[in-house]
A and B are shown apart, each in its own frame.
Chain A
Amino acid sequence: MKTVNSVVFSSPQFALLSDTQLLDLHLGALEVLRHTGIRFHHTEALDMLKEAGAFVSDGNLVRFPARLVEDAVASPPGRIVMCDRDGEPAMFLEGTKVYFGTGSDCLNLLDPETGKHRKFIQADLINAYRLCDALPNIHFVMSIGIPSDAAPALIYDVQMALMLEHTTKPIVFVTDDKASCQRAIDMAAAVAGGYEALTEQQHILLYSEPSSPLQQSETAVDKLLLMAEYQLPVVHSPGPLMGGTAPITMASGLVMSLAEILSALVVHQLKCTGAPFVFGAGLHHMDMGAAQICYASPEFQLTKAAIAELGRWYGLPTWGYAGCSDAKVMDEQAALEAMLSVLMAKFSGANLIHDVGYMESGLTTSYEMIVLTDELVALTDHIMKGIEVSDDTLMLDELDKVGPGGHFLDTEQTLKRFRDFWFPSILDRKRRPQWLEAGATTLGQRLNARVKEIIKEHQPEPLDPDKKQKVQEILAQADG
């Protein structure tokens, strides 16, 4: 029973779009770009696009020949390796490797000590970054919250300084305008040991958005071009609402998102050929009954998976969402939406999965949700391993040796392999008497206890004092 080229492992896989559907969406986007066009509120971008052969009319409406788009798609790298603060490779954004991180800029948190729903302050962010630093399956951070105790003009600078100080993990950042983006780069470069070192380490990635439908704002393009100059990675991800800022069908929403992403990519690559670019979009819809953006709808699961497939089809690293919920507290709904989105993220194979911890359409963060997602990532890692079918694992000899009516409790193989099964750290599998004995806790209680324990105990590796000083100087200059 020997076979050549036998596949012993095959991960569960998920394919949503056929080859012709992928092509139809791409061709639809090319037609939107050729015929309808995109408004660029950015003079330099308009000049570059005109020079490269795009058609500019009505002041700032840009229409794209297919060649321009095809050239742009061909030039960015197919993989990005993001390093941690020490310059060690931490995330390989390629193929179907999946990494998880938080979301950015929630107004509120669910206070783990009091259970209250309140505004973020800087101390909460420090706790949150330390929490993420400790969790093995949270691979990168975004800012999580907007600190209400920071000057409004300095919110993004404060977030960047705190992230650099309180976690070694890679950072995906959001910022206001070109100047604050430059300061974020300056801070990260100070920590990396210079601009060249930062470019080599790719420790930070910028998240920005087009202004749907079919517009690119001055500040977004400013930031995009700045990051391109430094050869630092960006994701320029539309976040439209189907039925609001996008047409009502998923197919049309995808086509519009593609047109917006590709038009940004053209400018980005014209500025600096080969600059790293991550492909992403968050195509939501509005629940017309609740008048609220859905972060956990079945449709959102589908559009995320479609975007991941499209990104891979273009040969680019990809962006996604999981560990987020429409629930208001860390309840059963939050848990099931976390599980659903994490599993779908794994099946879709998007590289950077963000928004872990988001509740209430991204208005609130729950630290318990971040800890739960960490656990669910570990759980789904074991699903993605699939089943090994090989002579080693078929164990016909063992079956024959034990034979009918025997048992496998004490065999050498059982002893050797029983730890290969996944063991949860938060989910409970105790027998009822032991569970009662241990306090009869619910998942929510155990998550809360774990959050408090980590915040109390975990100390991230301290940032070098000189580097911290430099970061603080940049922050002080911004204030001045």
Chain B
Amino acid sequence: MMMNQARIEQLHDAATEILQETGLNVHHPEMRRKLGDTGAKLGEGPRVYIPAEIVEQALSTAKHQEEIVVHNRLGEPVMPLGPHQIYFGTGSDCLNFSPPPSPPKPALSKVEGLGGKKGGAGEHREFTQADIVNGYSLCDSLPDIYFVMSIGISTVLPGASKVPAIARVLG
């Protein structure tokens, strides 16, 4: 245990104090309007001050929702997001890709690996869509990778239009 109840409450109270006294900048007109309608104080420019009651209200509404269960593409419930449920997935939007070395390096890099000019720098380049497809296919096969994020931003595919990442994920 790293946190006890008292410390969690202390952090929560500090955050609500900041929301109420310092406020935050909301640049989204509809969000500003809705916050105002709910009882938040609208300050100068984008500034909005959110009283503690609204925060508590929002937290209690969220808590009363049913447990979120994430399904896979086949409609099977695969990730119930309850307490102590842990799932692993990739990150999103890396610019670059380190392709696996080909042919594979010998396991024992010995001395030439220690002082060589190139050191540990293998090939390093921008993602192509083919790389990203491989990435998703890799994650699809690994039993302990439970979800994917987009992994990379591919700007490189000569002669083809750029496909939004979400379309590739769904593909």
- Of B56-64, B71-79, B81-89, B102-110, the stretch lying at the interface with chain A is B102-110
**B11 contacts the other chain (Cβ, under 8 Å)?**
yes
User: Which residues in B have their C-beta under 8 angstroms from that of A436?
Assistant: 121
Given A3-B10, A389-B11, A445-B113, answer yes or no on A329-B2 (Cβ-Cβ < 8 Å): no
In the docked arrangement, what's the CA distance between A3 and B11, Å? 13
**B4 contacts the other chain (Cβ, under 8 Å)?**
yes
CB 8 Å contact bits of A233-270 with B (1 = contact, 0 = none): 00000000000000000000000000000000000000
**B17 contacts the other chain (Cβ, under 8 Å)?**
yes
Contacts of A1-46 to chain B: CB distance below 8 A: 1, 3, 6-7, 10-13
Report yes or no: A10 in contact with B7, Cβ–Cβ below 8 A.
yes
Say how far A443's CB is from chain B's closest CB, in angstroms: 8
User: Which residues in A have their C-beta under 8 angstroms from that of B47?
Assistant: 404
**B118 contacts the other chain (Cβ, under 8 Å)?**
yes
- Chain B interface residue count, CB cutoff 8 Å, equals 32
Contacts of A110-153 to chain B: CB distance below 8 A: 114-115
Say how far A384's CB is from chain B's closest CB, in angstroms: 10
Interface residues on A, range: 20 to 34
Partner of B121, one of A114, A394, A440: A440
In the docked arrangement, what's the CA distance between A410 and B124, Å? 35
Report yes or no: A441 in contact with B24, Cβ–Cβ below 8 A.
no
User: Which residues in B have their C-beta under 8 angstroms from that of A329?
Assistant: 107-108
Partner of B1, one of A10, A115, A396: A10
User: Which residues in A have their C-beta under 8 angstroms from that of B11?
Assistant: 389, 394
In the docked arrangement, what's the CA distance between A6 and B110, Å? 54
**A460 contacts the other chain (Cβ, under 8 Å)?**
no
Report yes or no: B22 in contact with A440, Cβ–Cβ below 8 A.
no
Report yes or no: A440 in contact with B7, Cβ–Cβ below 8 A.
no
Given A13-B2, A387-B2, A396-B18, answer yes or no on A1-B108 (Cβ-Cβ < 8 Å): no
**B166 contacts the other chain (Cβ, under 8 Å)?**
no
Report yes or no: A10 in contact with B119, Cβ–Cβ below 8 A.
no
**B14 contacts the other chain (Cβ, under 8 Å)?**
yes
Say how far A47's CB is from chain B's closest CB, in angstroms: 49
Report yes or no: B18 in contact with A3, Cβ–Cβ below 8 A.
no
Say how far A402's CB is from chain B's closest CB, in angstroms: 9
Indicate the member of A387, A404, A435, A440 with the most B CB atoms within 10 Å: A404
**B152 contacts the other chain (Cβ, under 8 Å)?**
no
**A386 contacts the other chain (Cβ, under 8 Å)?**
yes
In the docked arrangement, what's the CA distance between A387 and B119, Å? 37
Report yes or no: B107 in contact with A331, Cβ–Cβ below 8 A.
yes
Say how far B117's CB is from chain A's closest CB, in angstroms: 8
Report yes or no: B22 in contact with A439, Cβ–Cβ below 8 A.
no
Say how far B3's CB is from chain A's closest CB, in angstroms: 7
Interface of A is mostly: loop
Report yes or no: A115 in contact with B6, Cβ–Cβ below 8 A.
no
**A59 contacts the other chain (Cβ, under 8 Å)?**
no
In the docked arrangement, what's the CA distance between A403 and B114, Å? 49
**B170 contacts the other chain (Cβ, under 8 Å)?**
no
Say how far B14's CB is from chain A's closest CB, in angstroms: 5
Report yes or no: A115 in contact with B114, Cβ–Cβ below 8 A.
yes
Report yes or no: B2 in contact with A10, Cβ–Cβ below 8 A.
yes
Report yes or no: B114 in contact with A7, Cβ–Cβ below 8 A.
no
Indicate the member of B4, B23, B121 with the most A CB atoms within 10 Å: B121
**B111 contacts the other chain (Cβ, under 8 Å)?**
yes
CB 8 Å contact bits of A285-302 with B (1 = contact, 0 = none): 000000000000000000
Report yes or no: A448 in contact with B13, Cβ–Cβ below 8 A.
no
Partner of B111, one of A114, A440, A441: A114
Report yes or no: A115 in contact with B24, Cβ–Cβ below 8 A.
no
> Nearest chain-A residue to B7 (Cβ)?
A389
User: Which residues in B have their C-beta under 8 angstroms from that of A440?
Assistant: 118-121
**A405 contacts the other chain (Cβ, under 8 Å)?**
yes
In the docked arrangement, what's the CA distance between A389 and B115, Å? 46
In the docked arrangement, what's the CA distance between A378 and B14, Å? 31
In the docked arrangement, what's the CA distance between A47 and B142, Å? 61
Say how far B87's CB is from chain A's closest CB, in angstroms: 19
> Nearest chain-B residue to A13 (Cβ)?
B1
Report yes or no: A439 in contact with B2, Cβ–Cβ below 8 A.
no
User: Which residues in A have their C-beta under 8 angstroms from that of B124?
Assistant: 432
Given A7-B7, A11-B2, A115-B108, answer yes or no on A404-B22 (Cβ-Cβ < 8 Å): yes
In the docked arrangement, what's the CA distance between A387 and B2, Å? 8
User: Which residues in A have their C-beta under 8 angstroms from that of B21?
Assistant: 400
User: Which residues in A have their C-beta under 8 angstroms from that of B17?
Assistant: 396
User: Which residues in A have their C-beta under 8 angstroms from that of B121?
Assistant: 435-436, 440
Contacts of B1-53 to chain A: CB distance below 8 A: 1-4, 6-7, 10-11, 13-14, 17-18, 21-25, 46-47
**A442 contacts the other chain (Cβ, under 8 Å)?**
yes
Say how far B109's CB is from chain A's closest CB, in angstroms: 7
> Nearest chain-B residue to A329 (Cβ)?
B108
In the docked arrangement, what's the CA distance between A446 and B154, Å? 33
Given A115-B108, A404-B24, A445-B114, answer yes or no on A386-B120 (Cβ-Cβ < 8 Å): no
**A399 contacts the other chain (Cβ, under 8 Å)?**
yes
**A95 contacts the other chain (Cβ, under 8 Å)?**
no
Partner of A405, one of B1, B25, B109: B25
Q: A329-B108, A331-B107, A400-B18 are in contact. List 16 more A-B contacts (CB 8 A).
A: A1-B10, A1-B14, A3-B10, A6-B6, A7-B7, A10-B3, A394-B14, A396-B17, A399-B18, A399-B22, A400-B22, A404-B22, A404-B25, A444-B109, A445-B113, A445-B119
Q: List 12 A-B contacts (CB under 8 A).
A: A7-B4, A11-B2, A13-B1, A396-B17, A396-B18, A404-B23, A404-B46, A436-B121, A440-B121, A441-B120, A444-B113, A445-B114
Q: Which 7 A-B pairs have the closest CB atoms?
A: A442-B120, A440-B119, A440-B121, A404-B25, A400-B22, A115-B110, A12-B2
